[in-house]
Amino acid sequence: MIKSELVQKLAEDNPHLFTRDIERIVATVFDEISTALANGDRVELRGFGAFSVKHREARIGRNPRTGEAVAIEEKWTPFFKAGKEMRERLNKPQNENVISIKSQG
């Protein structure tokens, strides 16, 4: 599913709203999450998961091909951890068939 399909699905479920409003709502939600992370804040959406920002110290890396040492700047990486309910939903018993078929194929 891509963003436009998400918007389309929400528009179908909410016929009283204009599609452009739905687009705005979806954009607002993800902008809000992005902005919070850019401020170094956490975002916790119970049941779905939590976003946080991890700090990586500057380090001396190595070009694996040439073996040359390269300075790598410190950086910040967004990190997502699925919530308990989401993890359980992904591993519900009725999904077992899907897994076994896939892993055999």
- How far from 42 is each of 10, 26, 51, 76, CA to CA, in Å? 26, 19, 6, 13
Residue closer to other proteins by CB (options 24, 59) is 24
Choice from 53, 63, 67, 71 touching other proteins (CB under 8 A): 53
Choice from 45, 58, 69, 72 touching other proteins (CB under 8 A): 45
Biggest CA-to-CA distance, the chain: 61
Residue closer to other proteins by CB (options 15, 67) is 15
- Is 26 one of the binding residues for other proteins (CB under 8 A)? yes
Q: Which residues contact 73 (CB under 8 A, 6 or more apart)?
A: 58
Question: C-beta of 20: minimal distance to other proteins in Å?
Answer: 10
